[in-house]
């Protein structure tokens, strides 16, 4: 099964995967808002770094779930 199909299946079947994907999307939306502001305040710079780390951690967890699903099939 290719990656896209696996993601679609997990979005349908796994509550955890859906929650992670939604949180990842929200982080990306907030990062986009920050990117579109010309200059960031110090607090916004901290928020941006935290969002990037959180987004990466979410993605790592999503890929772990994908690998686990592939192994179980």
CA separation for the pair 24, 34 (Å, rounded): 15
pLDDT category, 38, cuts 50, 70, 90?
confident
Residue 52 confidence (pLDDT): 98
Enumerate the domain spans of the chain.
Answer: 3-68
Residue 1 confidence (pLDDT): 75
35: which 2 tokens?
């990117």
29: which 2 tokens?
């939306």
Whole-model pTM: value is 0.90
Residues in Cβ contact with 10 at an 8 Å cutoff, skipping those fewer than 6 apart: 17, 18, 62, 65, 66, 69
Length of the chain: 73
Report percent pLDDT > 90 for the chain.
Answer: 92
Average pLDDT, the chain: 96
């Amino acid at each position: 099964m290719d990656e896209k199909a696996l993601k679609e299946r997990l979005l349908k079947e796994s509550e955890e995967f859906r929650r992670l994907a939604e949180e990842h999307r929200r982080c990306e939306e907030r990062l986009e808002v920050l990117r579109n502001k010309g200059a960031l305040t110090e607090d916004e710079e901290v928020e941006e770094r935290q969002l990037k780390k959180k987004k990466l951690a979410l993605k790592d967890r999503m890929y772990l779930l994908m690998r686990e699903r592939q192994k179980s099939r």
